[in-house]
Structure 1
């Protein structure tokens, strides 16, 4: 498993946990979890960036995902699917070092690991729409190289 994938998985677990206590500050729990489960400082830093970014921009991310989910409401999805979508959307929209296609692929892989049924397809479609909408709005295309190197 790549260094960044471990960071994403750790961030996902914290974001998933936050779904159960939305009014709780997850910063301390996240830092402790990352210290215990991510051996590398770069892994911890990337996971913290992801959690902080999703948490700080959750409302804006949810608005964009709402447009991407045709005939669905974000609130109707499972907690883990929502967390994966938010994580992927954050990387697509705000994370300049992650190529968009890598962010989508990583979200799909998380869905294959943690979800059941057609979740991976739903996540793929919603994040692909988010990427295309970003391009239509004139945001920088990060398609670049579809490989991602560990930090």
Structure 2
């Protein structure tokens, strides 16, 4: 599975878990739709779920005039996925994670999602540089 496909499937899985509150394994089965799983895909899904509170705190600190629970479910899932990559996937350049998130926002979000996602991630990127 290509990494872009893994990200798309991970996003779909995380979105389902967030919206429907279903078991992660059930969401994975549904998102994969009989495709083979992939280690990168599983790392993203389970990594985001494991670090969700930390990711949410980090995202919340960089939202301007927004609260995490008020942003679109898909945007929240994209941000969690991308921030997880930016912080925990050291082999992936931050710029790649950001670009992939923007592409996911274009594909799955509304017209304003790419700009919103880019703005939040840019703030997080700047914060990570200072650490």
In the other structure, the counterpart of 1:124 is 118
1:101 to 76, 95, 102: 95
- SS for the counterpart of 2:34 is helix
Q: Deviations over 1:73-99 (max 9, x none)?
A: 111111111100100100001111110
Aligned to 1:16: 15
For residues 113-134 of structure 1, the C-alpha deviation after alignment (integer angstroms, 9 at most, x for no partner) is 1111211111001111111111
Two-structure CA RMSD over aligned residues (Å):
1.7
Matched, 1:26 2:24: yes
Q: Distance in 1 between matches of 2:70 and 2:30?
A: 31
Higher helix share: 2
Q: How many pairs does the alignment contain?
A: 131
**Structure 2, unpaired ranges of 5+:** none
Q: Gapped runs of 5+ residues in structure 1?
A: 138-151
Q: How high is the TM-score relative to the length of structure 2?
A: 0.91
| 4+ aligned runs moved over 6 Å, structure 1 | none
Question: Given the two structures, how large is their TM-score scaled by the length of structure 1?
Answer: 0.80
